Structure 1
Amino acid sequence: MAKNQRPSIKNEEQYEALRDKGMSQEKAARIANTPNSGKKGGKAKAYEERTKQDLYDQAKKVGIEGRSKMSKKELIDALRED
């Protein structure tokens, strides 16, 4: 993506809220464009309780690069950071 080019956004309200919290355009866009973005539920397991495959699938969904070579701990760290 070009430096000052804005990505396509599906959930503008969530995107703006994430940007206000200091997230990068790319990270905010990935989160705001996921299915069911902005919906609350609070029923997800903690990352540590999930399988490595579940973490890999989530990392793939949000576009984390290098995920295929990551350990479970590295996937958790990447998901929390990214």
Structure 2
Amino acid sequence: MESANANPSIKDEDTYQSLREDGASKEKAARIANALANDRQNPGKKGGKQPPHEYWSKDELYERAQELGIDGRSDMDKSELIKALRNH
């Protein structure tokens, strides 16, 4: 486990480490940990309103991958797009 000073951009090291242990990417874990540490954000009150990716069309998945800048999205099939989005 890294010390709290190892990455000063992480505002809540315990949450970050817990998310990483649960399989979240470094970027995703950092975003969530920092949002939870920010009094002006309420990440737990957002989200959860979209249906699971399996219900999205391939075009919808592609558009979301494009918004997030996922490389290689044009060569991905629907299941690969879902995996890329979940791992982002």
TM-score, scaled relative to structure 2: 0.54
Structure 2: stretches of 5+ with no match in the other structure? 1-8, 33-41
Corresponding residue pairs, total = 67
**Counterpart in 1 of 2:70?**
64
1:29-82 superposed Cα distances (whole Å, 9 cap, x missing partner): 9x67xxxx9351422011110010110111112221000110011101111122
The list of structure 1 runs, each at least 4 consecutive aligned residues, that deviate by more than 3 angstroms after superposition, is 15-20
Q: Are the aligned partners of 1:18 and 1:28 in contact in 2 as well (CA < 8 Å)?
A: no
Identity score, percent: 39
Q: Give ranges in structure 1 of 5+ residues lacking alignment.
A: 1-6
Q: How many angstroms apart in 2 are the aligned matches of 1:67 and 1:28?
A: 19
TM-score by length of structure 1 reads 0.57
Question: Which residue number corresponds to residue 4 of structure 1?
Answer: none
Q: Greater CA radius of gyration, 1 or 2?
A: 2
Which runs of structure 2 are paired with 1:1-80 in the superposition (5 Å)?
19-20=16-17, 21-22=19-20, 23-24=25-26, 27-28=27-28, 38=43, 40-80=46-86
